[in-house]
Amino acid sequence: MLNLSLKSRGDRARTQPVREQLRVAIVTASLGISGAEKQAFYIVRALAEAGVAVRVYNLSRGGKYEVEVRRLQVEPEWIGRWPHPVLRLPLLVTALQSFRPNVIQSIHAYTNLYSAIAGKMLHAVSIGGLRGDLSVCLDSHPWCGKYLMGWPDGIVVNSKKALEEAKRSGLVNPARVHFLPNGIDLSCFPLRDEDDEEPAGTSCNCVTVGRLISSKRVDVFLRALAAARSRESTLTGTIIGYGQEMKPLQKLAAELQLGSDHVRFTGYSEDVTNVLGKSSVFVFCSESEGTPNVILEAMAASLPVITTPAGDSADLVQEAAAGYVVQFGNVDSIADAMVRLARSRTLRRELGAAGRDYVERNHAASDVGARLLEIYSEVARGSVYGRQSDRIERFRNARRTTVASGAGN
């Protein structure tokens, strides 16, 4: 009995969370339905699964990913009671004082100053975010753009284009800018059954996903679909998203003689993965991006991709050999690619399989936690809060030991 008791205590020691828990506060503007919010959820989940004590501080209330965060037993705290940042900051600092975070990470560029100022007040490492073009960020916040980038101890970007822009900007020490690829939950995208045969005459459905705003250029998608259908009548289209451009786009579809049998406007959908799984081609016509979640999700769903070179879109598709890159607004090139893919199921399969393999190797959500902890350690070493670096490294080492012990059993 004695030996059994000792063994069970040893097993528990190997599987229980590390004792010296790291504490990370996530500051976000929203937990709605956009790509940044989805990545915020993946970050929170990855940290929680790594044994980090994580809390979320949100400027707004509600949203799909607020519900998902709660399912992780992480209760988001609302700090947006007052409309002005000067009034919100004391709410955040007061809320953080009892938590005593080692790291304060901002998801959106808009909230970088909250993290930076709170970090200085609480002697925590502060990490800002940039999820898109730096020029767009600076144009949106002309009076404080340099502070949004320069005040945090480090900046995390989700695209290689933004990484290079930030390093060249002169607004932040290049050594303080770090790249964190978007993560994709591959469990949401089952592999396609390659043995299924499509009946003759089956339509080839081209899908696009995003907010219906001018910069997404869904009008180009519609014009390309109309041009492609004049040569290949099996082509159809699906537009997933909502926004101020909905009515003008529906009017344009009618002018292009694209009826309800030719193009479908779904509006907002919580089941994008299911629609992707039933589609044939993903088309992305946007003019400004970081690393678009929707392209990675389309690739995870084994769809060939037609994209503009917005943000990292071209690099993703070319590195994966998963489709075609066309110039901004080039209707004819998009139409040509649509027709080519519609006429070859074999080509669609080959490009789709290559994209899926690329996401599995480079963008699995399961890798986010380890990458984040490495970034935290690097940022802390370069900040004035060197003691936090020691704390982070002790946590990483203890976690590696715990994982290794578990793997050995």
What's 46's domain CATH number?
3.40.50.2000
What is the pTM assigned to this prediction? 0.84
Say what the pLDDT of residue 3 is.
Answer: 41
Alpha-carbon distance of 13 to 42, in angstroms, equals 27
Q: Do residues 42 and 110 share a domain?
A: yes
Q: CA angle at residue 167 from 165 to 217, to 5 degrees?
A: 15
Q: Are the CB atoms for 155 and 178 separated by under 8 Å?
A: yes
Q: Do residues 145 and 224 share a domain?
A: no
Q: Are the CB atoms for 306 and 283 separated by under 8 Å?
A: yes
Q: Do residues 101 and 224 share a domain?
A: no
Looking up tokens 């080509």 gives 347
Sign of the CA dihedral running 372, 298, 256, 248? negative
Say what the pLDDT of residue 397 is.
Answer: 84
Dig out the tokens for 395 from the structure: 């946590």
* Residues of the chain scoring pLDDT < 70: 1-19, 194-201, 402-409
Say what the pLDDT of residue 114 is.
Answer: 95
Q: Do residues 170 and 285 share a domain?
A: no
Element (H, E) at 28: strand 23-28
Say what the pLDDT of residue 56 is.
Answer: 96
Helices (runs of H) and strands (runs of E) counted in the chain: 17, 13
Number of domains observed in the structure of the chain: 2
Q: Are the CB atoms for 370 and 190 separated by under 8 Å?
A: no
Say what the pLDDT of residue 407 is.
Answer: 54
pLDDT digits 0-9 by tens, 322-346: 999 999 999 999 999 999 999 999 9
Q: Do residues 191 and 179 share a domain?
A: no
Domain stop point among 326, 341, 362: 362
Q: Are the CB atoms for 156 and 178 separated by under 8 Å?
A: yes
Instruction: Indicate the burial class of 408 (C-beta count within 10 angstroms; 0-12, 13-18, 19 or more).
Output: exposed
Look at residue 33 and tell me if it is in a domain: yes
Q: Do residues 196 and 221 share a domain?
A: yes
Say what the pLDDT of residue 388 is.
Answer: 85
Look at residue 206 and tell me if it is in a domain: yes
Best CA proximity match to 104, nearest among 397, 374, 387, 380: 380
Say what the pLDDT of residue 404 is.
Answer: 61
Q: Do residues 144 and 63 share a domain?
A: yes
Look at residue 5 and tell me if it is in a domain: no
Say what the pLDDT of residue 406 is.
Answer: 63
* Domain that residue 222 falls in: 186-362
| Three-state secondary structure call for residue 153 | coil
